[in-house]
Amino acid sequence: MAALDPGDPRSIGGYRLLGRLGAGGMGRVFLGRSPGGRQVAVKVVHAALVDQPDFRSRFRREVQAARAVSGAFTAPVIDADPDAPEPWLVTSYISGPSLEPAVADWGPMPTPRVFALAAGLAEALVSMHGAQLVHRDLKPSNVLLATDGPRVIDLVAVAAVGVPMALTGGHDSAPGHEPAPSTAPSTTPSTTPPTGP
């Protein structure tokens, strides 16, 4: 996590911002704290996207779709304001590396962990499909390895079956551009694989 830049906001919608997690094509992502003290990930949309025709209505629909998903293996949307001068959304903060660097750093997972990972991902997808939604950007960087199991993140990349990508033509969080709201990198590098599935 990097320190806030001088031009960064210090709070968004009642959430105090603690540091910068990343930035990319859709916006800036911050680690924040809720009024009740809970750590959250806060994504603030780039002003240039707001100027696109119908952006706010599409963003509002995607936030509503993401809120319809529940389950133990997702990072839910907590709050959002599509009508703010700079639209934003807040998700649960999930501590843990994504699947992508975990495999790159530690190599193949033992078979029991692979089965646990597959079961968690299946449960996350069942919860999305049960709400008649599909995740349009499921990839290793959108799977976090928390100590109590995997989490599918970037739920704004979900849509009702048959609905086209709304925000950025299918690249809401393209590799190398930005971590999704809840993909905060650890503030201290780890040399051991995560203990959860």
d(CA 59, CA 87): 9
d(CA 25, CA 165): 14
State the pLDDT at residue 122.
94
Chain Cα centroid distance, residue 62:
13
6-22 pLDDT, tens per residue?
999 999 999 999 999 87
In this structure, are strands 143-146 and 88-92 parallel, antiparallel, or unpaired? unpaired
Across the chain, which has 197 residues, the per-10-residue mean pLDDT values are 93 97 80 97 90 86 83 89 93 90 94 96 91 84 91 73 48 34 40 50
User: Is 54 among the catalytic positions?
Assistant: no
71-102 pLDDT, tens per residue?
889 888 899 999 999 999 999 998 888 899 99
Please tell me the pTM assigned to this model: 0.73
State the pLDDT at residue 26.
77
Range 13-18 contact pairs with CB under 8 angstroms and sequence separation of 24 or more: 13/79, 13/81, 13/84, 13/88, 13/90, 15/40, 15/42, 15/79, 15/90, 17/42
3-class secondary-structure state, position 99 = helix
3-class secondary-structure state, position 189 = coil
State the pLDDT at residue 35.
96
Please, what sign has the CA dihedral across residues 86, 92, 96, 98?
negative
Which residues are paired to 150 by β-bridges?
Answer: 145
State the pLDDT at residue 161.
58
State the pLDDT at residue 87.
93
Alpha carbons within 13 angstroms on the beta-carbon side of residue 26 total 28
State the pLDDT at residue 162.
57
CB 128 within 8 A of CB 135: yes
Q: Catalytic: which of 5, 83, 105, 137?
A: 137
State the pLDDT at residue 193.
52
CB 119 within 8 A of CB 113: no
